[in-house]
Amino acid sequence: MRSAHTVEQVRAAEAERMAALPDGALMAAAAHGLARAVSAFLGGTYGRRVTLLVGSGDNGGDALHAGAMLARGGAAVEAWLLSARPHAAGLAALRRAGGRVVGSGEVPADLPAHRRPDVVVDGVVGIGGRPGLRDDAQAALAVLAGVPVVAVDVPSGVEVDTGRTPGPHVRADLTVTFGTLKPAHLLDPASAACGAVELVDLGLALPPAPVEALGAADVAGLLPVPGGSDHKYTRGVVGVRAGSAQYPGAGLLSVAGAACGLAGMVRYVGDAEVADRVREAHPEVVGDGRVQAWVVGSGGGSGAGEELAAALADGVPVLVDADALTHLRGADRSAGSPLVLTPHAGEAAALLDVPRADVEAAMLEHARRAAAELDAVVLLKGRRTVVAEPRGRVRVNTTGTPWLGTAGAGDVLGGLVGALLAAGLEPFDAASVGAWLHGAAAVLASAGGPLVAGQVAAALPAAVRGALGRDLP
* Judgement on whether residues 305 and 370 belong to the same structural domain of the protein: yes
* Judgement on whether residues 196 and 239 belong to the same structural domain of the protein: no
At 108 the pLDDT is 87
Q: 3-class secondary structure for the chain?
A: CEEECCHHHHHHHHHHHHHCCCCCHHHHHHHHHHHHHHHHHHCCCCCCEEEEEECCHHHHHHHHHHHHHHHHCCCEEEEEECCCCCCHHHHHHHHHCCCEEECCCCCCCCCCHHHCCCEEEEECCCCCCCCCCCHHHHHHHHHCCCCCEEEECCCCCCCCCCCCCCCCCCCCCEEEEECCECHHHHCCCHHHHCCEEEEECCCCCCCCCCEEECCHHHHHHHCCCCCCCCCCCCCCEEEEECCCCCCHHHHHHHHHHHCCCCCCEEEECCCHHHHHHHHHHCCCCECCCCCCEEEECCCCHHHHHHHHHHHHCCCCCEEECHHHHHHCCCCCCCCCCCEEECCCHHHHHHHHCCCHHHHHHCHHHHHHHHHHHHCCEEEECCCCCEEECCCCCEEECCCCCHHHCCCCHHHHHHHHHHHHHHCCCCHHHHHHHHHHHHHHHHHHHHCCCCCCHHHHHHHHHHHHHHHHCCCCC
pLDDT in tens, the chain (473 residues): 999 999 999 999 999 999 999 999 999 999 999 999 999 999 999 999 999 999 988 999 999 999 999 999 999 999 999 988 999 999 999 999 999 999 877 888 888 888 899 999 999 999 988 999 999 999 999 999 999 999 999 999 999 999 999 999 999 999 999 999 999 999 999 999 999 999 999 999 999 999 999 999 999 999 999 999 999 999 999 999 999 999 999 999 999 999 999 999 999 999 999 999 999 999 999 999 999 999 999 999 999 999 999 999 999 999 999 999 999 999 999 999 999 999 999 999 999 999 999 999 999 999 999 999 999 999 999 999 999 999 999 999 999 999 999 999 999 999 999 999 999 999 999 999 999 999 999 999 999 999 999 999 999 999 999 999 976 44
* Judgement on whether residues 220 and 206 belong to the same structural domain of the protein: no
Among 178, 213, 248, the domain boundary falls at 213
* Judgement on whether residues 194 and 234 belong to the same structural domain of the protein: no
Among 179, 196, 213, the domain boundary falls at 213
At 407 the pLDDT is 96
At 471 the pLDDT is 61
* Judgement on whether residues 327 and 294 belong to the same structural domain of the protein: yes
> Does residue 290 form part of some domain?
yes
* Judgement on whether residues 276 and 246 belong to the same structural domain of the protein: yes
> Does residue 157 form part of some domain?
yes
Among 213, 237, 272, the domain boundary falls at 213
> Does residue 473 form part of some domain?
no
* Judgement on whether residues 266 and 365 belong to the same structural domain of the protein: yes
* Domain of residue 437, CATH code: 3.40.1190.20
Range of the domain at 29: 2-213
At 472 the pLDDT is 42
Domain count, the chain: 2
